[in-house]
Each structure stands twice: as C-alpha cells, then as structure tokens.
Amino acid sequence: MNEGAGTIEKPASQKQVKADNLIIRVMPKEFFGRDVSVSAPTKLPQVSPLVTQPLPLPKPLPQAKQTLPKKKKRGVWFIVIIGALLLAVLSILGYFWLQSVQTEPIEEPTIIIPEPEPEPVPKPILPSRGQDTDSDGLTDVEEELYGTDYRNPDSDGDSFLDGNEVFHRYDPLGFAPSTLLDTGAVKEFFSDKDGVQYSITYPAEWSTFPEINFTWFSSKTTNFPPRFSVEIHEKDLASQTLKDWYEAIEAVGNGAADLKNITTKNGYSGLESNDQRKVYLNVDASVIEFTYELDETKVINYSQTFQMFVNSFSVQP
C-alpha cells in the first residue's frame, strides 16, 4: 500500500506505549482518486435579530449649587435695585406723559367783565286821575270847585250828569236852563295880544297871569298850584299843517304819533295828547297851545275843567 495515499504513520511514541491499541484510520472511499471538490456551504441557521431594549435614561445629575462669592452678590443686588429704580422712574414718567397726551386741552375760562349796572333812573311819578266818588265826570276836587255833591252824579236832578253840564258850561246846580257864566262859577278872559284876539272861560276862583306870548290860569290854593296856560305860536307858512308844524317845532320822542285829532266844541281842529293835558289848535297862521300843568301831587284833578277851558276858546272878530 501507498503510504502517501491514506496510510497514516503512527507516532513512534504511540507504537511504543500502546502497540496493542494501534488505531488505523482509513480514508473514506469517496475521497480516493477524485478531485476534491468543495461542497456548497451549508446554510447557516438564521440568527434571530437582536431585540434591543431601550436603555434607561441616566438620572440627571443634581446640579451643583453655584455659590457666588460675596462681592459678586453685592454687585448683583446693586444692579437689581438700580434697575428697579429706573423702571419705577420710567413708569412714573410714562404715566404723566400718557396723562398729558390723553387729557383734553383745558380751555381757558372766558373772563366776563360784568358791565357796570346803570344807575337806577328814578321812575317818574305817573299822573293819576283824581278821585271821582260818584263817577259823574267831575273829580271830588272839581265838585268842591263848582259846589256840586261829590256823592250825587246829578246834583240838580235834571238827568244831566254834573261833569257833562260843566263840559258844556251849563249850571250843574240849577234845574232851569242856565250857564256857569250866569251863576258866576266861571269867568271869561279876553286877549288881544300876539296877533290873535280870543276869549276863553276859566274857573272864577282862579286867577290869570298874562305873560309875553302866553297866559297862565291857576288856582290860588297853594304856592305851586295846578295851572292852565295858553300860548300863541306863529307858523312859518299859513298853509303848514298842524302836524308839520308840530314835527318841525315840538317833535320829541314819537312826535305827532302820540297825538290824536280833535275838533273843539267851537269847531277848531287840533291835536290832543293821550293824557289830554296838551292840546294844539290850528287857527289860521297861528297855533294855539293849551297846557295843563300838574302840581307836585301829580294828580289830575281838573281834567273836566281843562276840557271845558279848551272847548270854550273862541277867536274874536
């Protein structure tokens, strides 16, 4: 047998020690005379994938307390306080700024200087009508002047009121037809001055005071008695109307608007004031002005007598 082809030489030591237990190993037949081919590698058993389990997170390490040195601590506190103060100051400034922006502009109050009150003008004492107890048109003062009864409106009982009889110059005390001239209660005044000859009737108890251009008629009862006056005015043109003359000469205030047209009992046209104490009569080229001036009592006691006075005016030929 070929020793190189399958004979395994025994180790000399083994031959010596264990001759009897000599083991001869023989090559399997299939390996003789054939090329040795390498068989396909046997499939390795699949290894199951490793299941990786999540590793537990490491526990956070406790933070080590940072301890600052004392000097550093003071510096931090100083910065904090300064910052807080600055913040407070800025807050206050911001607040006031907002207030100044948001608040409406304050209007300056208008100073009104009160005008000085005018000094009170003393109210004029308005004339009042004298007492007429029996309402017959004569005041109680006139009843005394003519001797009539101030409590009886028709003293003579002739159905004509006392005032009406005086206005027409009738005797208020006599039942029979008679006049005031007949009884002597009134007088006639004649004037031929100032270019106008006229007659006029006035109470017999009164006096006359002729002056230049006018004449006074007044009682003698007091130092400043009520009085009537007759004043003669010449118009510039005979054709001038009474109103035109009045507007040109006498006009004050409302002018002739305060006057009303009248016609006297003897037929003279004229103007009369509302309180019946001023009358202007148009006589040719002249204006006859009649005035009833009150005494200090400012009481109109002779209204009916003044009416009688004006209506008795007559131009004499």
Tell me: does residue 160 bind Ca ion (CB under 5 A).
yes
Nearer to Ca ion, 148 or 219 (CB): 148
Q: What is the largest CA-CA distance in the chain?
A: 224
Judged by CB, which is closer to Ca ion: 158, or 234? Answer: 158
* Contact flag: residue 158 with Ca ion (CB under 5 A): yes
The Cα–Cα gap between 239 and 228 comes to 28
Place of tokens 């390996």: 31
When binding is defined by CB under 5 A, the residue of 145, 146, 156, 166 that contacts Ca ion is 156
Strand partners, 191: 198
Rounded CA gap, 75 and 164, in Å?
123
For the CB of residue 180, give the shortest distance to Ca ion in the complex, in Å: 12
Q: Which amino acid is at 284?
A: D
Piece of 96-104, 156-164, 178-186, 197-205 that binds Ca ion (CB under 5 A): 156-164
- Binding segment for Ca ion (CB under 5 A), chosen from 55-63, 154-162, 296-304, 307-315, is 154-162
Q: Is 162 in the site for Ca ion (CB under 5 A)?
A: yes
**Residues paired with residue 181 on neighbouring β-strands, in sequence order:** none
Structure-block tokens of residue 131: 């007492």
The closest alpha carbon to 156, from 175, 176, 137, 180, belongs to 175
CB of 130 to Ca ion, least distance (A): 9
> Which stretch, 34-42, 69-77, 96-104, 162-170, contacts Ca ion (CB under 5 A)?
162-170
Return the sign of the alpha-carbon dihedral for residues 133, 136, 140, 146.
Answer: negative
Residue 179 binding Ca ion, by CB under 5 A: no
Distance CA 272, CA 10 (A): 192
Q: Specify the residue for token string 């006639």.
A: 188
DSSP assigned state of 304:
H
CA atoms within 13 A on the CB side of 243: 9
Binding map of Ca ion across residues 192-231, x = CB under 5 A, - = no contact: ----------------------------------------
**Minimum CB–partner distance for residue 262 and Ca ion (Å):** 23
- The contact pattern for Ca ion, residues 122-151, with x = CB under 5 A and - = no contact, is ----------x-x-x-x---------x---
- Which CB sits closer to Ca ion, 158 or 250? 158
Residue 171 as a binder of Ca ion (CB under 5 A): the answer is no
For Ca ion, which is the closer residue by CB, 138 or 196?
Answer: 138
**Complex with Ca ion: residue 138 or 242, whichever CB lies closer:** 138
Q: Which is nearer to Ca ion, 215 or 301 (CB)?
A: 301
Residue 79, H or E segment: helix 70-102
Q: Which is nearer to Ca ion, 156 or 194 (CB)?
A: 156
The nearest distance, CB 172 to Ca ion, in angstroms, is 5
> Residue 290, class by beta-carbon neighbours within 10 Å (0-12 exposed, 13-18 middle, 19+ buried)?
buried
Q: Which is nearer to Ca ion, 160 or 234 (CB)?
A: 160
Angle at 101 between CA 100 and CA 103, to 5 degrees: 70
As measured in angstroms, the least distance from the Cβ of 117 to Ca ion is 45
Cβ distance to Ca ion smaller for residue 136 or 289: 136
- Residues in the chain, how many? 317
154 binds Ca ion (CB under 5 A): yes
As a dihedral over the C-alpha atoms of residue 242, residue 248, residue 252, residue 253, rounded to 10 degrees, the angle is: 80
Which residues sit at the interface with Ca ion, rule CB under 5 A? 132, 134, 136, 138, 148, 154, 156, 158, 160, 162
